[in-house]
Each structure stands twice: as structure tokens, then as C-alpha cells.
């Protein structure tokens, strides 16, 4: 059985159930993209209340509904008679309800509906869970299409229902036949409801304007946008679904690359005062170092010098593995601006990190006669006025701050260079704000200690030049990483005590800071109290978490850095910026809760001195290393290798999330699987912009409009740059 016209073929095949029609659905109304802006209430059965529930999913109009694509399809099931059902095999049967009843389950609050279903070949007992309301629906003994799996344990065989639909002369097979689309849903808007509503709107696809140039669609042999959207919702077969997904993924990646390249072109057209070559101040700073910069550091500093001496603003992303020496490069960039008579700023995401940076900079630069100011949200109004006043007057040359640096009322006399540290923790607008000073655009160096696969770099930061510190300073001792199952954890605590008795320090990391009913993890506060009274009784134990007042955070970090605290119990606030060479043991509770990249950052907090250091991964009973992640982590110290593995295991959405990209989640493209499409999209975007920089003529201007709609407004970026 087929879906009465819901299957949508690619190309010019005749749609099933609508013989004689080819191509997209037709309409007597004139094709007009504006018709897609109408509310969902134009659809039969969709009132204001239901439309409001759809709005919670971001679906406000017909266009939103059509572009709310399924994230997967249920595999097709065999349409067969009752007598042909086979145990363990998914199938769809066309049957009539013979009888039905509801009974309670042994599980609390779960009710089971059982119905005897039959056709000419026989009967089968079907089971629905928690759908007792269907008893009233089935009272009329309707004919059904039922999709499910037959099971046979104790007693008679049972047909466990996955989906069903009552046959009433309308669309048949929408929920049961072929490749059934599955959508992101909520409690108030079910997958079934979304599927039915999209089916009602399919005739509107005629108004979907294709933003891609016809030349490009033909060259890549892609279906039109209309065909691809319909085939994504209701594919005839897996081949059609795959072709539709690749077309829509390419479109999405092309729009993103156009947005990034447009932004980059506009930024590159900006003009700044070139900085002179490095002089005496930078030379004295490098000469004061107790070590020689690595070749990688010298290479990156030369790249920065080249940027700073140009008349266009530097827009560079510096990434490197844990301990690769990014801070030295950042300080060099800041000094170049100060040496030229201007001001420099370093923005970090947390006050703990700001304090760490300020301490390091003061220690390194005070011998050179340079002072360092700080600007944080926790400051009093008077403290804030004092710092902002000195910045505006040009009396303070170097400042370190949180996002307080980009709040209203903060003005620089002559900001020449800015470094944004751990910049993946800021949105794009926050990153840009520091680079958009009213007195002229500064040079900007973005810096991250989180290794990012090159594929994601191209996608997330395609508007930035890339520098990579790909070697560690000599003399660093690799951290030995060990998995610790429950049976070995008492011995591990004994090992921690032995290291502390030798005059070393340790960190204990917990994922949460308070009790949670949904995650079976101890909070840092509870662990602190338990350890201080138990395994670490008699030792000086400190506590650090994000909810502590700023003064207490600073005190906790200062006590640990000075050695007054022997063991620091912390949440992941310790993930970045902590540099205590005497810390040699990192003990991570509930290690399976962390991603590989986050574990790598935590491990990087130890091993910064000359002593052998250890990272101990505590695992839970029965879940020591279910997916092999922790074993992989223990086997390598290469952050880029771990980042690639993290991407494969968790996907880019979980690995980086919406905040990192600043553009929102990709809806169709999967970066791990679509690297070829990403590269192609980058090349095509470059070709399109070379011929039409503002996209005014391409595809009748619809491509420009689509970039604006999809990725936060191209005009917004152009106006800000």
C-alpha cells in the first residue's frame, strides 16, 4: 500500500496516487514565497492553541513547518497478512479490531491496552502501552494499519505496536508504511502530530524558492529545493532520502560559508594603523624568559608580527594543545600594542581565569615597568569607575577582564590589540564587540586551549586565519593516566595521600556542585565534606566551585597556588587557567560523565612541573569503560587526536553546542560525515562571491536573503564589521 500521493519522487517521475502530475505539487495560486509566511492556522485542524504549541518548537509559519526536517526515518517495514508475521521482524498489517480491553501493569501508573486484530488470514493480539484512551477509539471496531514487531515468550504471540493509524479514507500509511519520518518533538507536540501537520502543508512546497543558482543545481545533479524538502519528509525510498539530505546539507553549508566569507571580506576591508616592527620592549621580555620559545611559538609570533604590521586588522585564531605555550604568544601580541604606544586588552570567560592571567602578566611584566589592571563584574561601582576612567584617559595600558570589558560605559583611549581567551565560551557577538571599538578597530587574536578538528575550524571559524602550536616545550613530563574501577579506589586514595606526604598537591574534580535528582553524581560540596572527614582527614582540603562568591574563589585559588591547600576539591571551573606546578595528581570522579576534550583539559592542569604527574579516572560499578572512550583517553596525550575522537563519539552538537558556533545548530549537515560537502561548499562560496560580492544578482537575490534569514542576518554582520 502507498501513501496516496505523499511519496514525492525526485526528478520527473510520476507521483504515486496522483497520476499525470510531474514535478512539485501544483497550485492554482500564483507562486509567491510570501505565501509561506502565513500562520499554521490556515491548515485544517490547526487552531490558535495548537499553533501556539508549534511556536514553542520555533515553528511560526508554513515555511518554518516545511523546513522543520526529520532527523531520521524509521526503516520500511514489510506489508503482510497476519498469518505471514514472523517473530522479531518489523511488519505492517492491515486489520480490523475484533475486541479490546485495558488492564493495569505491574509497573506503577502504566496501563496496557490489548486488542485482538484480524484479517482474512487470522488474528493476533496487539499491545499498546500507556494509550488506554484508544479503547474508546476502537469501540467502533475500525480498520487499522498497524506497524510493530511480533514477540513470542510465555503465552500466545503478541504484536508490540510501534505506530498505527485508523483508515478513514484519508492519507493512508503516513505513520506506518515506507520510510516514516521522525522529528524532534515535545510533550505537547508529538512526532505523530508533526508528521500529520506537515502532510497537510505539502501543497505549499510549490512556493519554496530555490536559493541555489540553477547552474549549481544542474552541475551537482541535485534535486530542486522543493523536491528535496518533500523527499526529506516523505521519501519513496532510501535513495531519495539520501539525495535529499545531501542537497539540503550542501545548501546549509554553502549558506554558512557565504556568511563567514562575507564577514571576513568586510573585516579585511577595514583599515587600522599598522604597528611598527617589534622593538626594545619585546626584546627585553623575550630575553627575560627562563627558557627559549619553541620553534612553533616563534613561527606563530612571526605570523602575528606580519598581521600587526599590515594596514588591515588581525583576525587570527590561535589554538594549541594543553601546555603548548599559548600564553607566551598572547603576551607577546599584547606587548606589541603597548610598545607602539597603544592599549591592549585580554578578555577571559571567568573571573578565576581573569585572576590567573592578571597574576601571570604582573609577574612577567612588572620587571619591565608595566602595570596590569583588571575589570570584572564583581567589582564595586567605585572600583569599576576607577578602572574605566584610567582606560578612557589612556593611563592604563594593559587590562584583563571578563565580558565586563564590552559592557556599556567602557571606552579605551587607543585600543590597538585584544586577545580573547577561551573564545569558544563567548558568542560571536561578544567576540566581535571587543573588536569594534568606537576609536578604531583593534587587532584581535582569538585563543583557545580546546583542540578543534580542522573540519570544525573551517565551519566555526572560517572568518579567521588559523595558527596552530603543534609542539610542546621541551622538558615536560607526560602525565600518566590510569582508569580506577571501584575495587581499586581505596588504593588510589592511599596513593594521593602518599603524594601529598611527599610535599606535592592534588586536585579532585566532581561534575556537579549540588545534589541532583536526575544525575547520580556527588556534588563538590558533599565530596569536600566527605573527604575532609574521611580519606583526607588531617590534610588541608580546599573547595572551589562556580557558585562561590568571587572573593572566596580568589582565596581558594591563592591558597592552592601558595601550597596552603594540599588537595583542592573543585568542579570543572578548574578546567582552564589553573597553573600550579606543584600539583601532580588529578583525580576525576565520575569520569564517564565528561567528554574526551574536557578530560584532556582537566588532565592539563597537572604535569606543569618537573615531577611525574598522574591523572586518575574513577569509574562506576558496571560502567567502567562501556564505549572505550576512557581507554582511548588513557592511551594518548594528543589533544587533536582526542578532539577527532570526541567528534566521532558525541557529534559536533554535544561537543561544542550552540554557543561555540554563534550561528545556531546546523539542522541537516553532519560535519563528521559531510566533510566533502563542506569543502565543496567553501569552494562554491568563494566562486560565487568572486563574481557577485554582495550576492545581489545570484539566484535573483534569493541566496542573499536566505543567508540573512538562516545565519543571523548577513546585513547585521556587514554593518557591525
Maximum mean pLDDT: which of 16-20, 103-107, 466-470, 711-715:
466-470
Q: Which of 78-87, 166-175, 508-517, 533-542 has the lowest mean pLDDT?
A: 508-517
Indicate if 156 and 302 belong to the same structural domain. no
Indicate if 377 and 448 belong to the same structural domain. yes
User: Does residue 375 carry a pLDDT above 90?
Assistant: yes
Using pLDDT thresholds of 50, 70 and 90, give the confidence band for residue 171: low
309: burial class by Cβ within 10 Å (0-12, 13-18, 19+)?
middle
Domain of residue 311 covers 280-469
| Alpha carbon 213 to its chain's center | 30
Mean pLDDT confidence for 296-314: 96
Stretch (H or E) spanning 550: helix 550-561
* Assigned domain for 699 exists: no
Indicate if 155 and 195 belong to the same structural domain. no
Q: What does DSSP say about strands 111-119 and 415-421: parallel, antiparallel, or unpaired?
A: unpaired
Indicate if 489 and 415 belong to the same structural domain. no
355 contact partners, CB below 8 Å, separation of at least 6: 374, 553, 554, 557
The whole-number pLDDT of residue 24 equals 45
Using pLDDT thresholds of 50, 70 and 90, give the confidence band for residue 577: low
* Assigned domain for 679 exists: no
The whole-number pLDDT of residue 358 equals 92
* Assigned domain for 499 exists: yes
51 contact partners, CB below 8 Å, separation of at least 6: 39, 40, 41
Helices assigned H by DSSP within 8-94 = 48-55, 62-66
Indicate if 91 and 151 belong to the same structural domain. yes
User: Does residue 149 carry a pLDDT above 60?
Assistant: yes
Q: From 650, 669, 692, give the residue that closes a domain.
A: 650
The whole-number pLDDT of residue 511 equals 72
User: Does residue 594 carry a pLDDT above 90?
Assistant: no
* Assigned domain for 275 exists: no
Q: From 220, 244, 269, give the residue that closes a domain.
A: 269
471 contact partners, CB below 8 Å, separation of at least 6: 294, 295, 296, 324
* Assigned domain for 667 exists: no
Rounded to the nearest 5 degrees, what angle is found at the Cα of 186, between the Cα atoms of 74 and 428?
Answer: 100
Report the distance separating Cα 369 and Cα 391, nearest Å.
18
The whole-number pLDDT of residue 662 equals 37
Indicate if 517 and 626 belong to the same structural domain. yes
User: Does residue 71 carry a pLDDT above 70?
Assistant: yes
Number of domains in the chain: 4
Say which CATH number the domain at 90 has: 2.40.50.140
Indicate if 318 and 437 belong to the same structural domain. yes
User: Does residue 338 carry a pLDDT above 60?
Assistant: yes
Q: Which of 70-84, 358-372, 612-626 has the lowest mean pLDDT?
A: 612-626
Mean pLDDT confidence for 231-247: 95
Stretch (H or E) spanning 193: helix 191-200
Indicate if 303 and 401 belong to the same structural domain. yes
Mean pLDDT confidence for 213-224: 95
Radius of gyration of the chain (CA): 31
* Assigned domain for 698 exists: no
- Residue that wins the pLDDT comparison between 653 and 539: 539
User: Does residue 704 carry a pLDDT above 80?
Assistant: yes
User: Does residue 576 carry a pLDDT above 70?
Assistant: no
Indicate if 621 and 485 belong to the same structural domain. yes
pLDDT tens by residue, 33-46: 568 999 999 999 99
Using pLDDT thresholds of 50, 70 and 90, give the confidence band for residue 435: low
pLDDT tens by residue, 155-167: 788 999 998 989 8
For 6, phi and psi rounded to 5 degrees?
A: -75, -30
Mean pLDDT confidence for 61-80: 92
Mean pLDDT confidence for 625-638: 82
- How far does the chain reach from its first CA to its final CA, in angstroms? 56
pLDDT tens by residue, 500-533: 999 999 999 987 544 443 333 447 888 999 999 9
Say which CATH number the domain at 591 has: 3.40.50.300
Q: Which of 319-333, 337-351, 440-454, 550-564 has the lowest mean pLDDT?
A: 440-454
Q: Can you give the pTM of this predicted structure?
A: 0.70
User: Does residue 575 carry a pLDDT above 70?
Assistant: no
Indicate if 575 and 643 belong to the same structural domain. yes
Indicate if 59 and 23 belong to the same structural domain. yes
Show the cell assigned to 422: 577561551
- Strand-pair partners of 97: 117
The whole-number pLDDT of residue 433 equals 55
Instruction: Give the chain's mean pLDDT.
Output: 84
Mean pLDDT confidence for 419-447: 64
Show the cell assigned to 441: 578597530
- Percent of the chain whose predicted confidence (pLDDT) is above 70: 84
Contact 422, 348 (CB under 8 A): yes
pLDDT tens by residue, 116-126: 999 999 999 99
DSSP-assigned states of every residue in 345-390? EEE-SSHHHHHHHHHHHHHHHGGGT---EEE-TTS-HHHHHHHHHH
* Assigned domain for 287 exists: yes
* Assigned domain for 702 exists: no
Report the distance separating Cα 205 and Cα 190, nearest Å.
22
DSSP-derived 3-state class of residue 669: coil
Show the cell assigned to 480: 600518566
Q: Which of 55-59, 165-169, 398-402, 458-462 has the lowest mean pLDDT?
A: 458-462
Indicate if 423 and 285 belong to the same structural domain. yes
Q: From 419, 442, 469, give the residue that closes a domain.
A: 469
Q: Which residue has the cell 592604563?
A: 396
Amino acid at each position: 500500500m502507498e501513501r496516496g500521493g505523499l511519496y514525492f519522487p525526485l526528478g520527473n517521475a510520476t507521483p504515486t496516487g496522483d497520476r499525470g502530475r510531474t514535478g512539485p505539487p501544483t497550485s492554482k495560486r500564483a507562486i509567491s514565497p510570501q505565501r509561506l509566511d502565513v500562520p499554521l492556522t490556515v491548515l485544517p485542524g490547526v487552531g490558535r492553541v495548537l499553533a501556539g504549541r508549534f511556536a514553542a518548537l520555533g515553528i511560526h509559519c508554513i515555511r518554518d513547518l516545511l523546513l522543520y526536517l526529520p532527523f531520521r526515518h524509521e526503516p520500511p517495514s514489510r506489508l503482510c497478512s497476519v498469518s505471514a508475521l514472523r517473530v522479531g521482524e518489523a511488519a505492517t498489517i492491515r486489520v480490523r479490531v475484533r475486541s479490546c480491553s485495558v488492564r493495569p501493569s505491574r509497573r506503577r501508573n502504566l496501563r496496557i491496552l490489548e486488542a485482538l486484530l484480524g484479517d482474512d488470514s487470522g488474528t493476533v493480539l496487539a499491545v499498546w502501552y500507556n494509550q488506554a484512551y484508544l479503547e474508546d477509539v476502537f469501540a467502533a471496531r475500525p480498520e487499522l494499519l498497524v506497524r510493530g514487531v511480533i514477540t513470542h515468550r510465555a503465552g500466545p504471540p503478541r504484536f508490540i505496536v510501534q505506530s498505527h493509524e485508523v483508515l478513514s479514507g484519508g492519507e493512508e500509511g503516513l505513520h506506518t508504511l515506507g520510510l516514516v519520518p521522525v522529528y524532534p518533538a515535545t510533550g505537547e507536540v508529538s512526532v505523530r502530530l508533526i508528521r500529520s501537520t506537515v502532510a497537510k502543508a505539502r501543497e505549499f512546497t510549490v512556493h519554496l524558492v530555490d536559493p541555489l543558482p540553477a547552474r549549481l543545481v544542474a552541475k551537482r545533479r541535485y534535486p530542486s529545493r522543493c523536491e528535496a524538502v518533500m523527499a526529506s519528509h516523505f521519501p519513496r525510498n532510501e535513495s531519495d532520502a539520501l539525495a535529499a539530505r545531501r542537497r539540503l546539507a550542501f545548501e546549509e553549508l554553502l549558506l554558512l560559508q557565504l556568511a563567514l566569507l562575507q564577514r571576513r571580506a568586510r573585516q579585511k576591508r577595514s583599515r587600522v594603523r599598522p604597528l611598527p616592527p617589534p622593538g626594545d620592549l619585546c626584546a627585553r621580555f623575550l630575553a627575560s624568559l627562563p627558557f627559549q620559545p619553541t620553534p612553533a611559538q616563534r613561527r606563530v609570533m612571526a605570523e602575528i608580527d606580519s598581521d600587526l604590521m599590515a594596514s588591515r586588522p588581525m583576525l587570527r585564531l590561535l589554538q594549541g594543545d594543553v601546555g603548548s605555550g599559548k600564553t607566551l604568544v598572547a603576551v607577546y601580541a599584547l606587548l606589541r600594542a603597548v610598545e607602539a604606544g597603544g592599549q591592549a586588552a585580554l578578555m577571559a570567560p571567568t573571573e578565576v581565569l581573569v585572576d590567573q592571567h592578571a597574576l601571570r602578566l604582573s609577574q612577567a611584566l612588572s620587571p619591565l615597568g608595566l602595570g596590569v589592571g583588571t575589570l570584572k563584574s564583581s567589582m564595586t561601582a567605585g572600583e569599576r569607575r576607577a578602572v574605566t576612567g584610567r582606560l578612557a584617559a589612556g593611563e592604563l595600558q594593559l587590562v584583563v577582564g571578563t565580558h565586563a570589558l564590552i559592557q556599556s560605559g567602557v571606552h579605551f583611549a587607543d585600543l590597538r590589540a585584544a586577545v580573547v581567551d577561551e573564545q569558544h565560551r563567548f558568542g560571536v557577538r561578544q567576540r566581535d564587540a571587543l573588536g569594534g571599538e568606537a576609536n578604531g578597530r583593534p587587532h584581535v587574536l582569538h585563543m583557545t586551549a580546546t583542540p578543534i578538528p580542522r573540519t570544525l575550524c573551517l565551519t566555526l571559524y572560517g572568518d579567521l586565519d588559523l595558527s596552530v602550536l603543534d609542539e610542546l616545550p621541551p622538558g615536560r613530563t607526560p602525565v600518566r593516566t590510569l582508569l580506577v574501577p571501584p575495587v581499586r579506589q581505596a588504593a588510589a586514595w592511599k596513593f594521593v595521600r602518599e603524594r601529598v606526604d611527599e610535599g606535592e598537591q592534588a586536585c579532585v574534580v566532581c561534575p556537579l556542585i549540588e545534589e541532583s535528582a536526575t544525575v547520580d553524581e556527588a556534588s563538590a560540596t558533599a565530596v569536600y565534606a566527605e573527604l575532609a572527614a574521611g580519606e583526607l582527614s588531617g590534610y588541608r582540603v580546599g573547595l572551589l566551585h562556580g557558585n562561590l562568591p568571587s572573593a572566596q574563589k580568589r582565596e581558594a585559588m591563592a591558597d592552592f597556588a601558595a601550597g596552603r591547600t594540599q588537595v583542592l576539591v573543585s568542579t570543572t571551573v578548574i578546567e582552564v587557567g589553573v597553573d600550579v606546578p606543584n600539583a601532580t595528581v588529578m583525580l576525576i570522579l565520575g569520569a564517564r560523565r565528561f567528554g574526551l576534550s574536557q578530560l584532556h583539559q582537566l588532565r592539563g592542569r597537572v604535569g606543569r612541573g618537573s615531577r611525574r604527574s598522574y591523572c586518575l579516572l574513577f569509574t562506576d560499578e558496571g560502567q567502567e569503560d562501556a564505549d572505550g572512550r576512557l581507554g582511548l583517553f588513557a592511551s594518548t596525550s594528543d589533544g587533536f587526536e582526542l578532539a577527532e575522537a570526541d567528534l566521532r563519539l558525541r557529534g559536533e552538537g554535544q561537543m561544542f553546542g550552540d554557543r561555540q558556533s554563534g550561528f545556531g545548530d546546523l539542522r541537516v549537515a553532519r560535519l563528521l560525515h559531510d566533510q566533502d560537502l563542506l569543502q565543496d561548499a567553501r569552494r562554491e562560496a568563494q566562486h560565487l562571491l568572486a563574481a557577485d560580492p554582495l550576492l545581489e544578482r545570484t539566484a535573483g537575490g534569493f541566496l542573499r536573503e536566505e543567508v540573512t534569514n538562516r545565519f543571523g542576518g548577513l546585513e547585521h554582520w556587514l554593518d557591525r564589521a
